[in-house]
Amino acid sequence: MIRPIRPEECPALMSLLGAVGLFGSDELDFLRGLLESHFQGQLGDGHTWLVDADDTGRPVAIAYYAPERLTEGTWNLYLIAVHPDQRRMGRAESLIRHIEGVLAQTGARLLLVETAFDPLLAGAWALYKKCGYTQEARIANFYAAGVDKLIFTKPLSTDP
């Protein structure tokens, strides 16, 4: 079931993010700080964290998206991650489709998702492609020397 995150499940969310296997300790600290800011209402309008919970209510997938500042209707899917035990069950695709539906109803035009050009992320690239995203840009050496950034986009409405 897809639903907003709850303050009392912060430890479970951190456990999920740790299990994903993609984030180092600095990144996990950053994400913990973001979650705390979110629960304190400090992230700003539109910043949204969702989980997909299993039958027991345990969060097994997580997504975070927000509006891009100084744009009209452009949003960024900053994070999507699924517990390793729960992958290839359609959870990430369902989260993305859910987010797109919610955003389209509010007049959002464009959804971005950014990743590093790292073979570890090949599954994510395949996911974005399946969901209809196209690679719009590549910034060389963005994350570190030799680690480019890929930006994928998808229009959310028929607006030009």
| Contacting residues toward ligand COA, per CB under 6 A | 20, 22, 79-82, 87-93, 115, 121, 123-124, 126-127, 130
Say if CB 28 and CB 18 are below 8 A apart. yes
Q: For residues 96 and 94, what is the distance between their CA atoms, to the nearest angstrom?
A: 5
Question: Which residue, judged by CB position, is nearest to ligand COA in the bound state?
Answer: 123
Minimum CB–partner distance for residue 8 and ligand COA (Å):
23
> Which residues fall within 8 angstroms of residue 87, CB to CB, at 6 or more apart?
123
**Least distance from ligand COA to the Cβ atom of residue 72, Å:** 25
Contact (Cβ atoms closer than 8 angstroms) between residue 93 and residue 131: yes
CB nearer to ligand COA: pick between 85 and 160: 85
Q: How far is the CB of 128 from ligand COA (least distance, A)?
A: 8
135: CB partners within 8 A, 6+ apart: 150, 151, 152
Q: Pick between residue 41 and residue 119 the one whose CB is nearest to ligand COA.
A: 119
Closest to ligand COA by CB, 58 vs 87, is: 87
